[in-house]
Amino acid sequence: MRSTGKEKLKPPPEILVVKSGRVRAGYRIGKILFGGLPDSQEHRAVIHIIGEHPGTMHHTFSAYISAPGVGTWKKAGIDHNITRVVSGIADTDIQPEFAAKETIEIIAELWKE
């Protein structure tokens, strides 16, 4: 995702899928996609959707949100300190519609930092 102005988000034209990936895979993807952009102050976001508790009937997942400025994506060693999470998303816990709104609010908050 990228910012297109005040509080507006624009999703990418494609969605990447990583099988058996972890949160750090999203950091590498962010660095590859955004690390070469010229404006270090512009913010770009990666939302990693990761399934939780495989084998249970809850079918939960979490949204890991990384949304720093391009200057951070350029650095080596991006770590969990730039990431926020909405966890427990499922039909038996946090409803996906609520989680989507919460994710957008978190991105807006991170982009104010």
CATH tag for 2-112 (out of 3.90.1150.10, 1.10.10.10, 3.40.50.670, 3.40.50.11240): 3.40.50.11240
Radius of gyration for the chain, computed over Cα atoms and rounded to the nearest angstrom: 14
CA distance 105 to 18: 25
pLDDT in tens, the chain (113 residues): 555 455 577 788 888 888 888 888 999 999 999 999 988 888 899 999 988 766 667 788 999 999 998 899 988 778 888 899 999 998 888 999 999 999 999 998 988 86
CA distance 93 to 60: 8
